[in-house]
Amino acid sequence: MKVALFITCFNDTLFPGAGKAVVTLLQRLGCEVEFPLEQTCCGQMHVNSGYEHEASGLHDRFARVFADYDAVVSPSASCTAHVRERIESVGGKVFELTEFLIDQLGVVDVGASFPHRVTFHPTCHSLRLLNVGDRPLRLLREVRGIDLVELDGARECCGFGGTFAIKNADTSMAMLSDKVRHVLDTRAEVCTSADTSCLMHIGGALSRGRTGVRTMHIAEILAAQE
């Protein structure tokens, strides 16, 4: 199957590892992956901050860039939800990675091995906008050697929320500190999720607190063959 990768501007610039892992994983599963270099940003941040007008050019651009592909895969649940809702012409064929693996490719065991203690934070947008349900967990459970521990208060927001994390920094931090406490309670080495934005937020506090807990995008674990 031939698929286009929608990496998102955020991952492209700050978390290339997540994108590389998606490429590795999809190729291993027999997909032909393309990366349309004309892609930039889907406009989510603009819309969610009240700058809908500024986003409309980005929406048009997105629709053009991905018009000719049969399937588009993204390592961001949040951006996938945005384009699915806002960009009618192509939104329907954009899939978040774990949706794509399970619903389109029909795989649960992706041949990964990752012998570490891991906890999973299901981001709000994967839960409530995309309704991915337990797909990420089903994939993680099949990873060889993984010690998957449940996160208390998993469904609760980590406090990122895009510009919310900056505009309402104090409230955001109060939410984050509870999330971090729950992560530490699991005594996991790695906290993973389907969005690097939330992971940057959680990871920022884990790092500031010198906790030694790493954050990894779920694609990086599913691609791993340690």
Partner 1 sequence: MSFQSAAKVTLKDAQLRRNIGKATTLIREKRLRAVAEVPDWEPLRDAGEAIKAHTMATLPEQLEKLEAAVTAAGGVVHWARDGAEANAIVASIAKRVGTDEVIKVKSLATDEIEMNEALEAEGIHALETDLAELIVQLNPEDKQSHILVPAIHRNRAEIRTLFEQTIAQGQSLGNEASAIAEAARLHLRNKFLTVPMAVSGANFGIAETGTIGVVESEGNGRMCLTMPRVLVTLMGIEKVLPAWQDLEVFLQLLPRSSTAERMNPYTSLWTGVRPGDGPQEFHLILLDGGRTNVLADEVGRAALHCIRCSACLNVCPVYERVGGQAYESVYPGPIGAILTPQLNGLGSAPSLPWASSLCGACYEVCPVKIDIPSILIHLRGRVVREEKSRLTPEALAMKGMAAAFSTRRRYEAAQRLAKLGRGPIVKAALPGWTAMRDLPEPPKETFRDWWKREHGEG
Q: Which of 24, 29, 49, 63 binds partner 1 (CB under 8 A)?
A: 49
Helix locations, the chain, DSSP H: 9-14, 16-28, 44-48, 52-66, 77-86, 88-91, 97-99, 124, 135-141, 164-167, 169-185, 196-208, 218-223
Q: State yes or no: residue 208 binds partner 1 (CB under 8 A).
A: yes
Q: State yes or no: residue 212 binds partner 1 (CB under 8 A).
A: no
Map 33-50 to HEC letters: EECCCCCCCCCHHHHHCC
Comparison of 89 and 163: residue with beta carbon closer to partner 1: 163
Comparison of 216 and 224: residue with beta carbon closer to partner 1: 216
Mutual angle of helices 77-86 and 52-66, in 10-degree steps: 90
Q: Which of 64, 189, 204, 211 binds partner 1 (CB under 8 A)?
A: 204
Site for partner 1 in 87-116 (CB under 8 A): none
Collect all residues with Cβ–Cβ distance below 8 Å to 4 and sequence separation of at least 6.
33, 34, 35, 36, 66, 69, 71, 72, 73
Q: State yes or no: residue 164 binds partner 1 (CB under 8 A).
A: yes
Q: State yes or no: residue 157 binds partner 1 (CB under 8 A).
A: yes
Within 13 Å and on the Cβ side, how many CA atoms surround 50? 2
Q: State yes or no: residue 27 binds partner 1 (CB under 8 A).
A: no
Q: State yes or no: residue 130 binds partner 1 (CB under 8 A).
A: no
Residues that bind partner 1 (CB under 8 A): 7, 9, 11-17, 19-20, 34-35, 37-38, 40-41, 43, 45-55, 57-58, 61, 124-125, 127-129, 155-157, 159-176, 200-201, 203-205, 207-208
